[in-house]
């Protein structure tokens, strides 16, 4: 740990000077306490199933309400958590909270699968796998785990074996950020994944770029050939939603439908029906 911190200090100093370094060290130290102090909270972002015109699942995204810095987003602390091993406690907390929130949703008549982001280091951690499985099995919760292909690369056999353990107890595996990292068709073939999420890198400029539609379309076809459902992330416009629908994309997620929101806001969102009207509009020309 000391060694890796020193390394990180050296790197950060090169890039952005001393303040950034102190910041990172402080933030990493605070994070350990944040989990106990209940400073973390979850927001949920719905995925809309286009053909069914339904929200079938949501993604849980962690946020940190820091006592002096205010809201801190995951890209600023997940890497620190991975390095310090706080990621284990953080992720188990996320799973527990998602299980509770899923019960609250079910009590209100909303039966949704909740997807949780799982850091690569955890796929090599037998103790984490055991504890996560125990939580899911004892609760009977319907969860999904989002993983990136990059996280499989260090120890593909071990990671794939652990993903199978998750899949065997009913956890749906989704490949996150597809196309943005080190994508390998060899892994795609072996992963026990039921969903493939196309990275927003290819989606946010879908209708203004020449190449993105070609990449997205062939990715959808590839995923379907492998019997996976496709989610497009980063859908921000009606035009992008319409094009994705024509291309046969199964689900969309993005600011157009909803930003990540607190549980109360999610319940409100599910009950006011606006998104159904939007999805119905888009399908209308094809249903006729």
Binding residues for Mg ion, rule: CB under 5 A, are 117, 146, 176-177, 233
The entry of Mg ion, ligand C2E, none that residue 195 binds, CB within 5 to 8 Å by partner kind: none
Q: Does 155 bind ligand C2E (CB under 6 A)?
A: no
Binding flags for ligand C2E, 122-141, as an x/- string (CB under 6 A): --------------------
Residue placing its CB nearer to ligand C2E in the complex, 61 or 243: 61
Quote the least distance from Cβ 256 to ligand C2E, whole Å: 7
Taking CB under 6 A as the criterion, the residue among 19, 68, 75, 287 binding ligand C2E is 75
Distance CA 287, CA 265 (A): 31
Which pair of tokens denotes residue 211?
């190449």
Distance CA 185, CA 174 (A): 15
Quote the least distance from Cβ 101 to ligand C2E, whole Å: 13
Is-contact 112 85, C-beta < 8 A? no
Which pair of tokens denotes residue 224?
């379907």
Total number of residues that touch ligand C2E (CB under 6 A): 23
Indicate the pairing of strand 40-49 with strand 113-117: unpaired
Distance CA 234, CA 198 (A): 9
In degrees and rounded to multiples of 5, residue 66 shows phi and psi of -80, 135
The residue written with tokens 């291309």 in the block is 247
Contact residues toward ligand C2E (CB under 6 A) are 45, 61-62, 73-75, 78, 91, 94, 117, 119, 146, 176-177, 200, 204, 233-236, 254-255, 260
């Amino acid at each position: 740990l000391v060694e890796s911190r020193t390394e990180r200090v050296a790197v950060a100093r090169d890039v952005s000077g001393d303040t950034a370094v102190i910041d990172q060290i402080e933030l990493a130290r605070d994070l350990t306490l944040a989990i106990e102090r209940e400073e973390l909270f979850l927001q949920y972002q719905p995925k809309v199933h286009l053909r069914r015109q339904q929200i079938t699942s949501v993604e849980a995204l962690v946020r940190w309400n820091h006592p002096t810095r205010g809201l801190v987003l995951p890209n600023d602390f997940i890497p620190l958590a991975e390095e310090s091993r706080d990621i284990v406690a953080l992720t188990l907390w996320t799973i527990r909270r998602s299980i509770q929130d899923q019960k609250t949703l079910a009590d209100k008549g909303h039966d949704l699968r909740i997807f949780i982001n799982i850091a690569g280091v955890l796929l090599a951690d037998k103790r984490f796998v055991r504890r996560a499985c125990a939580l899911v099995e004892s609760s009977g919760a319907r969860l999904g785990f989002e993983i990136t292909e990059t996280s499989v690369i260090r120890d593909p056999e071990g990671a794939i074996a652990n993903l199978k353990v998750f899949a065997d107890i009913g956890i749906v595996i989704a490949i996150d950020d597809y196309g943005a990292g080190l994508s390998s068709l060899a892994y795609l073939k072996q992963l026990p994944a039921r969903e493939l999420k196309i990275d927003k890198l290819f989606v946010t400029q879908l209708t203004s770029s020449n190449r993105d539609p070609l990449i997205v379309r062939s990715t959808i076809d590839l995923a379907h050939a492998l019997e996976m459902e496709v989610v497009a992330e980063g859908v921000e416009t009606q035009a992008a939603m319409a094009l994705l629908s024509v291309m046969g994309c199964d689900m969309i997620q993005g600011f157009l439908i909803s930003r990540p929101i607190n549980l109360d806001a999610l319940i409100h969102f599910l009950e006011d029906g606006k998104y159904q009207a939007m999805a119905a509009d888009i399908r209308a020309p094809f249903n006729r």
